[in-house]
Amino acid sequence: MAVYTEIPDDALETFIASYDIGALTSYKGIAEGVENTNYLVHTEEGSYILTLYEKRVRREDLPFFLTLMEHLAARGISCPVPVLDREGRVLRELMGRPAALVTFLEGLSVRRPRPEHCAALGAGLARLHLAGADFPMRRPNSLAVGDWPGLYESLAARADEVAPGLSGVIEAELDHLARHWPSGLAEGVIHADLFPDNVFFLGTRLSGIIDFYFACTDMLAYDIAICLNAWCFEPDNAFNVTKARALLRAYDRVRPLDAGDLEALPVLARGAALRFLLTRAHDWLNTPDGALVRPKDPLEYLRKLRFHQGVTGVGAYGLGAVA
């Protein structure tokens, strides 16, 4: 959470005047998002989020993310809608940074999702996958299974600073995943970072999905695996099978899972756990003391990985009656 770039009032007034959304009436830098600077902007016509893309986002990827949001919104997904300026542009520049204005979504991020939230999430994820089916752009997943060995190499020498023995666990897991990673499953646009802080609810109704800046083209079931990890473990790291069942059944009702998806789910969940273990360990080792953003705990994902290592079939996720 941080506002990396301040915007003077006159600069933002001029910027907003290039859109057909009324005059700027207020703006506040908000503590949301780790990678970018975000402002909540009020104009005479409504509320918007202005994002300045800081250096960790690759500029050449922005058209994919912004066009995807337009595509999904046009198909009824409740996601931020990029606003066109008077010249029809979505991607702009402000304070020397790429910038985009999107609609503001009401809703709350749920700290402790209940099974109803997991069900709404599952259905919402399936709708997102269906809505993305005819999206014409492709972006390879830059944090896919083939990228993990290289990511591990960059931190291998210090992995045991995160936890004693971690290097051995990761090396064995990389080996396992290289040999068992599935292929031939349904692919499409995935969100790839659908944690509870990227999903808004009003009550138990899913009111919005945000932060598409990891979205890419990959196996749809891998997106489900990421969600199982992010939504179905309790604070004490116990896996909540009721939540997993609710998520998977609701997904399946909107976009039926086939036998291949279901069979692959345990190994995909191991991969998803390793992916976040690796990036969190990287951030943990490379965040200077006193940084604006505190790194997340990598060991949370080590514990999730260990759970999935003990899973022998999709029954562990509460299924069995689905397919």
Q: Which one, 233 or 317, has the nearer CB to its own copies?
A: 233
Indicate whether 150 belongs to the interface with its own copies (CB under 8 A): no
Which of 137, 157, 172, 202 is in the footprint of its own copies by CB under 8 A?
202
- Coil, strand or helix: which one is 57? coil
Residue 24 contacts its own copies per CB under 8 A: yes
In the complex with its own copies, which residue's Cβ is closer, 67 or 109?
109
- The SS3 assignment for 100 reads strand
Q: Classify residue 163 by its DSSP letter.
A: S
Judge contact between 109 and 33, C-beta under 8 A.
no
Establish if 29 lies at the interface with its own copies (CB under 8 A). yes
The pair of structure tokens assigned to 214 is 């990891």
81 touches its own copies by CB under 8 A: no
Name the nearest CA neighbour of 285 among 175, 149, 193, 151.
Answer: 151
CB of 202 to its own copies, least distance (A): 7
The Cα 271–Cα 117 span in angstroms is: 24
Does 106 participate in binding its own copies (rule CB under 8 A)?
Answer: yes
**163: Cα separation from own chain's centroid:** 26
Which residue number, 28 or 58, has a Cβ lying nearer to its own copies?
28
CA 306 to chain centre: 22
Q: Which stretch binds its own copies (CB under 8 A): 8-16, 74-82, 262-270, 312-320?
A: 8-16
User: What end-to-end distance do the CA atoms of the chain give, in Å?
Assistant: 41
Residues 47-76 within binding reach of its own copies (CB under 8 A): 47
The least distance separating its own copies from the CB of residue 200, rounded to whole angstroms, comes to 7
How far is residue 43's CA from residue 212's CA, in Å, rounded to a whole number?
24
Residues 110-129 that bind its own copies (CB under 8 A): 110-112
What residue ranges bind its own copies (CB under 8 A)? 1-3, 8-10, 12-13, 23-32, 40, 42, 47, 104-112, 200, 202, 288-292
